[in-house]
Amino acid sequence: MDLSSMSGVIMEYSDDSAGEHDSDYENEDDDLHGNPGRRSDVMSLDDSHNPAAGSSASNAAADAAALTRAAQTALLSGNGEGHVTITGNGCAQTASKKTYTVYIISVRALNGAAWTVYRRYSQFKALSEKIHLRMNNRLQMRVKELLPPKKMIGSFDPEFISRRQKALAKWLNQLMDAFRRINMPPFNDEDLRFFVTHDANKPPRDLKISTNTINSSDKNSGDASSTGVVGSDENRLGPEGQMEHALNAAGTASSRSRDVRTGKQVSLEDFEMIKVIGKGSFGKVLLVRKRDSRNLFAMKVLDKKNIIRRNQVEHTNTERRVLGQIRHPFIVTLHFAFQTRTRLYFVLDYCSGGELFFHLGRCGRLRESLACFYAAEITLALAHLHSLGIVYRDLKPENILLDGDGHVRLADFGLSKEGITTGTSGTGSFCGTAEYLAPEILNRTGHGTGVDWWALGMVLYEMLTGMPPWYTKEREVLFERVRRSPLEFPKHVSPNAKSIIQGFLVRDSAKRIGVRLGAQEVMAQPFFSHIDWKALYERRLSPPFRPRKDVGSLDASNFDKVFTRMRIEVPTGPSSIAGSNTFAGFSFEGHFQDRRQRERQLAMNNASSVDGE
């Protein structure tokens, strides 16, 4: 995602070996900006395919049976593949008033159908025993032994339940991957399919959802927690019901973040809204000015209702989590994050140069010296991410922003994956944007950080020629070309450029440059022979191109006028409302010790704009 396209996930099926999520094809099903020049060949998911649609509380029991059948059909129609996320937990009661723990599982089929099921630990155990009896030898996985053990005392302790939720999610993902390793789609297994479809969208009696289940490890948030109660007559905890619970469960404590520079809490009231610079399905990106420092920022405003309905909660939480730990000269910096009852706010660097996509659309292609400069800065950004065990997975011109000086800033980390330490393995996800997907993603053979080097090869080719290699709007044809077609170059592409692109676009990920010997191998390529890497990292090399600026105080000439002419329609009411459990730990205050120095630098960078007022 770029700043102006919001949380625009193009094609997404992602698992989580760390036990937090496993997702499926997901996207913004409109043209990401409404911009005629933007790619529109996205994988569309229509809510009309959702088996939860049309269900009402009054006939929940009858609907649940129908939804179970519809859910099973949806999984089978996707060849036994799908997305599973354990999104939370809670407590419920039996008819005899005995309390038990429930784990909330969100499921999405490849055709976009989505539903929620509620499972006790005993049901996980029963599943493990059934599959152990039938499949243990074939799966080459200790199905029963790897299941988290039963605990007799202290089983209602919130920290224990949170740990168990993650452990169960990890076990479920391991189980699904075990099926895939023997070339069997996981939901073709009858027991596993029954486990994720039976009693779809039918929550248990008097379910009380815990508010400390998502990102519960983030102990430093300013978000308050509360417990919401869903009665037996309120069976709406599919995507819509989770949304309604998330919004209604909010209390009255503060969800503001704190400004390290001043020590004061930061909220929406601390920013002046100037103009819209981007729009997507989940909200808008605004150019804003902080009232006390007068610094300019980009504020990404996301609608919680749309995020939850479109099953983008984990992507949003991932982006917040990743941005909170990154500081790099060629990656956008997160300064603040806070939330209201209905919206999430990211306050990020304002990159006044706009998207690389915008400039490619203007000029067609870049001269090689400029493409080399951008590729070098991207290389350093990717190397930093990989050193932290993060694979980016969504490198494309829309996500490559230019700051006011012309340096690259990578944006949108919703598809990122943490805990990936190798170039060839670590996750089995199907995610990214169609034109830039590596063969190992298409073939679902597992992938690692090597997919980022593949994407850099695709982007570099596009910078030099105007289009990605093998491009066509016919997705299946595109995928077949990526797998098998030869790589061809126009005559104007230099031998050194051809060589590095060919090295990036090796279909065997183990032989791809950047995978064999890491980023140093990329930096040593002849294409980059003239780059002083230390000077580049320190931003002492002047970019060959400085984005155009209009005369005036608040320039936005590098953003589409379709957006800059839009009215700002963001609620201006108080933001001191607690977040729901769905976005617990979202608030962020900027944790770097040299925050004061960074704000002074921001003020200097913005001086030319402010002086013109």
Active site residues: 394
Amino acid present at 185: P
Q: Please report, for residues 89, 227, 233, 236, 250, the alpha-carbon distance to residue 205 in angstroms, rounded to integers and kept in the order given.
A: 14, 16, 9, 13, 22
The answer to whether 358 and 316 are in contact (CB under 8 A) is no
Dist. CA 145–CA 143, nearest whole Å = 6
Other beta carbons within 10 angstroms of residue 154's beta carbon come to 9
| Backbone angles phi and psi of 343, in degrees to 5 | -140, 155
C-alpha dihedral (298, 299, 303, 307), degrees to nearest 10: 60
Copy the structure tokens of residue 524: 């040593």
On whether the CB atoms of residues 149 and 230 are closer than 8 A, the answer is no
Strand 343-349 to 400-402 pairing: unpaired
Q: Among 350, 356, 408, 407, which residue's Cα sits nearest to residue 606?
A: 350
**CB neighbour class for 167 (10 Å; exposed up to 12, middle 13-18, buried from 19):** middle
Amino acid residing at 358? F
Measured CA to CA, the distance from residue 104 to residue 257 in angstroms comes to 29
Distance in angstroms (rounded) separating the CA atoms of residues 554 and 272: 12
Q: Give the DSSP letter of residue 333.
A: P
Helical axes 450-465 vs 356-363, angle rounded to 10°: 30
Output the six-digit token pair for 589.
């205050």
Burial of residue 123 (CB within 10 Å: 0-12, 13-18, 19+) is middle
- The one-character DSSP state at 141 is S
Strands, E, within 249-378: which ranges?
A: 257-258, 265-266, 271-280, 283-290, 296-303, 334-339, 343-349, 354-355
Judged by phi (left if over 0) then psi (alpha if -120 to 50, else beta), residue 518 lies in left
